[in-house]
């Protein structure tokens, strides 16, 4: 799986999940339970992962939705 977004913004995470669900693109939110480790402060970012074969489509969806700035780039 390829990292698509890395953020600690719960609204962005929910929005991206909804966009991926609507496009029938499977995604996974990694590090979601790490909030237990940081005391539920939301300091540690969560990562949204998609399959490698769908990453370009997913990036286009985020760009079309106006949140291209959230796309994780290595």
**pLDDT tens profile 7-34:** 989 899 999 999 999 999 999 999 887 7
Does residue 18 belong to any structural domain of this protein?
A: yes
pLDDT digits (tens, 9 = 90+) for 48-61: 999 999 999 999 99
Domain encompassing residue 16: 2-69
Does residue 74 belong to any structural domain of this protein?
A: no
CATH number, residue 18? 3.30.70.790
Q: What CA–CA distance (Å, rounded) separates 25 from 54? A: 7
Helix (H) or strand (E) holding 38: none
Tokens of 59: 């990036």
The number of domains in the chain is 1
Whether this model's pTM surpasses 0.85? yes
């Amino acid at each position: 799986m390829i990292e698509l977004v890395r953020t600690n913004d719960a609204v962005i995470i929910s929005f991206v999940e909804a966009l991926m669900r609507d496009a029938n693109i499977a995604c996974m939110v990694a590090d979601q339970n790490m909030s237990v480790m940081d005391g539920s402060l939301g300091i540690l970012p969560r990562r949204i992962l998609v399959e490698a074969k769908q990453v370009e489509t997913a990036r286009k969806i985020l760009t079309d939705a106006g949140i291209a700035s959230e796309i994780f780039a290595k």
